A = this chain, B = another copy of it.
Amino acid sequence: MSVVEQARRARGAAEALAVATRTVKDAALHAMADALVARTPEILAANAADLAAGREAGLSAAVLDRLALDEGRVAGIADALRQMAALPDPVGEVVRGATLPNGLELRQVRVPFGVVGIIYEGRPNVTVDAAGICLKSGNAALLRGSSSAAHSNAALVAVLRDAVAGAGLPADAVQLLDASTRDSVKELMRARGLVDVLIPRGGASLIRTVVEESTVPVIETGVGNCHVYVDAAADLAKAVAVTVNSKTQRLSTCNTAESLLVHAAVADAFLPAVLAAFADAGVTVHGDARAAAYSDAVVPATEEDFDTEYLSADISVAVVDSLDAAVAHIRRHGTGHTEAIVTDSQPAAREFVARVDAAAVMVNASTRFTDGGEFGFGAEIGISTQKLHARGPMGLPELTSTKYVVTGDGHLR
């Protein structure tokens, strides 16, 4: 079936989803969770086929681990659906409302987008997560996963569609697109009018392609060249802890710190301590000349280093002469994801927060906190680094639009 035909079916399903009550949608989410558990054997069989193909294709151990399912992981994925069912329904929320001077009653109400396309990496749990988040927010999902997870995704989506239909909603609320060809991505990007929003998740090149070529509105996610700035007035023990946590708590996430900026006034006191901590943690430091003066282990940083989202045990380090210089550096190299300051100075924190243009600004906290789960949203479809519509972690409300409902009694202008 062509992507356009799948998108048309999704539109039909979206009409039913838009008027489905929370009770019905939550019942569907529970049915999806129960079905995943009940049909775990067929899911694991399909996953085994992907793993075998992946091993043959020479995928790395890390990639294979992200791809792998077992009974416990399937149960965890099912539990995530049950947790979504417990979240409030964003649809129908009155965002704004008033009675106008002429007596017209004005309400701005959250409504689903309609059809949401998601392009994502080889993690089968995202298939279920995305399907669940879309369904809860009243949207039909067009899922374009990775070819490396094709068997797993097909099995998961078959289970989910049966459960959705069994709960009285259209099976076409959840559809998997052909992952064997790039054509499905192209068709999806051109399905303006049928697909309401496209969310690319994954590497910088995929995101760039979609942003450049899509006529369907896009919510850009992901690339995070996040900085920690250690201010002249920083508590240095906290600064070491926040810096190391931001870099090492998990290496491969978009909210991981990739660059450290140190105020010259505390460089002597701070850099030896943090360089020692990085050495202990196995992190390679790519430093400018001033940072390199503090340790022979520092690798000279190029300008390119300061633009690099390493996603590995590497960090770039520069010494700056002022908060102003730190802000300028972040403006030049940041990607608008998460920027952190460590300082005990209230004026410094205030200025950094006001002047740094990013989805999230941390004061005396790890960059790793930019996360829908950490923020208490309960579910997350990605972290937006654009300014339009949604910025930062996107939960259920970010998967909705609004509609003005205006009620009168024969009102005329």
| A23-70 contacts to B (CB < 8 Å) | none
Instruction: Determine whether the beta carbon of A249 is less than 8 Å from that of B413.
Output: yes
- Cβ B245 vs Cβ A413 within 8 A: yes
Q: Is A217 an interface residue (CB 8 A)?
A: yes
How far apart are the CA atoms of A249 and B412 in the complex, in Å? 9
Kindly list chain B residues whose C-beta atoms are within 8 Å of the C-beta of A386: 217
Quick one: given A353-B405, A365-B104, A402-B391, are A410 and B359 in contact (CB under 8 Å)?
no
A86 in the interface (beta carbon within 8 A): no
Q: Report whether B410 and A235 are in contact in the complex, using a CB–CB cutoff of 8 Å.
A: yes
Give the docked Cα–Cα distance between A357 and B211 (Å): 26
Q: Does A129 contact B (CB under 8 A)?
A: no
* Highest count of chain B CB atoms <10 Å: which of A113, A386, A409, A411: A411
Contact B238 A364 (CB under 8 A): no
| Cβ contacts A7-31/B at 8 Å (1 or 0 each) | 0000000010011000000000000
- The complex places the Cα of A407 from the Cα of B344 at a distance, in Å, of 12
Consensus secondary structure, chain A interface: mixed
Closest chain-B Cβ to A66's Cβ sits at a distance in Å of: 20
Tell me whether A410 and B355 are in contact (CB under 8 A).
no
Which B residues are CB-close (under 8 A) to A342?
A: 410
Q: Could you say which residues of chain B place their CB within 8 Å of the CB of A402?
A: 391-392
Given the known A-B contacts A245-B413, A411-B364, are A404 and B376 also in contact in the complex, defined by CB atoms under 8 Å? no
Residue of B nearest to A249 (CB): B413
Segment among A73-81, A149-157, A259-267, A367-375 that sits at the interface with chain B: A367-375
Instruction: Tell me if A403 is interfacial: C-beta within 8 Å of chain B.
Output: yes
The answer for the CA separation of A349 and B413 in the assembled complex, in Å, is 21
Q: In angstroms, how far is the closest chain B Cβ from the Cβ of A277? A: 13
Fill in one digit per residue for A76-115: 1 if any B CB lies within 8 Å of its CB, else 0.
0000000000000000000000101100101010010110
Q: What chain B residues lie within 8 Å of A404 (beta carbons)?
A: 359-361, 370, 375, 391-393
A246 to chain B, nearest CB (A): 9
Chain B min CB distance to A347 (Å): 13
Contact across chains for B219 and A388 when beta carbons are under 8 A apart: yes
**A354 interface neighbour in B19, B196, B368, Cβ under 8 Å:** B19
Quote the shortest CB–CB distance from A402 to chain B (angstroms).
5
Q: Taking the complex as formed, is A389 at the interface, i.e. its CB lies under 8 A from any CB of chain B?
A: yes
Residues of B contacting A360 with CB < 8 Å?
403-406
In chain B, what residue has the closest Cβ to A361?
Answer: B405
- Chain B residues contacting A238 (CB-CB under 8 Å) are 409-410
A136 to chain B, nearest CB (A): 18
Q: A405, B375: Cβ atoms under 8 Å?
A: no
Contact between A406 and B362, CB atoms less than 8 A apart = yes
Q: Which residues of B contact A403 (CB under 8 A)?
A: 357-361, 391-392
State which residues 385-400 of A face B: CB under 8 Å: 386-389, 391-393
Segment 187-208 of A: residues with Cβ below 8 Å from B = 192, 196-197
Does A215 count as interface, using CB distance less than 8 angstroms? yes
What are the residues of chain B within 8 A of A289 when measuring CB–CB? Answer: none
Distance in angstroms between the alpha carbons of A212 and B193 in the assembled complex? 12
- A287–B248 Cα distance when bound, in Å, is 69
Task: With CB as the reference atom, state the residue of chain B lying closest to A327.
Answer: B15
* A376 adjacent to B100 (CB under 8 Å): yes
Choose from B98, B196, B363, B411 the contact partner of A365 (Cβ within 8 Å).
B411
Interface status of A72 (Cβ within 8 A of chain B)? no
Q: Determine if A368 and B249 form an interchain contact, defined as CB atoms under 8 angstroms apart.
A: no
